Amino acid sequence: MANGKPTLYHLNNSQSQTILWLLEELGIEYDLKLFNRIEQRSPPELKETHPTGKSPQLMTPTGRVITERSAIALYLIETYDTSSKFKIPSPPAQADDDFLKEDSLISFGNSTVMPLFMLRLVFMQLVKRTPFFLRWLVSTISSTLDKAFLSAEIELHLSYFDSLLEGREYVMGGAEPTRADFVNLWYFDWGAQGKYYEVPKYKNIDAWRQRCLSRPAWKRALEKGNGYDLSEG
């Protein structure tokens, strides 16, 4: 864009909040365009900048539109984090704390954690939206499937992530968040707000989540955004 600043196309109650958080952490100048959901869907105006009409979208100063939080976070950190504050610590906390581990954990959030929580959301909404006279049947079926498969999968993968955070402030072992934190926070905050997992059961995850949410930059991002309530999915 002509003013030399990136522009975030931000949707309320969405994953975009973590990109707004990153922009505040970086302390750079940026433009912010706010959009509100229409019946829980993205407004059609977001398709004017990208065919999918999703958020977040980041328009670079050259006019290129980047989507997907991992790619946006990578661009912002590589472009604007000149002091390497939010990059993987060097030397690493452990030998395998490298870009491969960070990328695998980012994929873990998107391809493993999110689908599990989404399935639990579907079960919950299915029961909630079923007519009263059939609700007992749907509730029984959903509960049976949850106990037979979903609960064990959530326990397995969240216990794994919880163990990775043992003794760490942030995912990659440094004193500051990296892309793994900026991307993964949303999955676990969404899960906590929606009650898709037992928050107290995973003490390291909860401590990490609260640590991120207590950062001044996160609080500034909440003030500048237009709503962040994930309790309804």
Q: Where are the domains of the chain?
A: 7-87, 99-215
Distance CA 107, CA 121 (A): 20
Three-state DSSP state, 227 = coil
Q: 1, 63 in Cβ contact below 8 A?
A: yes
CATH number at 99-215: 1.20.1050.10
Q: CATH number of the domain at 7-87, out of 3.40.190.10, 3.40.630.30, 3.40.30.10, 2.60.40.1080?
A: 3.40.30.10
Distance CA 187, CA 171 (A): 14
What pLDDT score was predicted for residue 59?
Answer: 98
Distance CA 73, CA 162 (A): 23
What pLDDT score was predicted for residue 197?
Answer: 95
What does each of the 233 residues of the chain score in pLDDT, given as a tens digit? 457 899 999 999 999 999 999 999 999 999 999 999 998 889 999 999 999 999 999 999 999 999 999 999 999 999 999 999 999 999 999 999 999 999 999 999 999 999 999 888 776 766 566 676 566 555 676 677 767 678 899 999 999 999 999 999 999 999 999 999 999 999 999 999 999 999 999 999 999 999 999 999 999 999 999 999 998 65
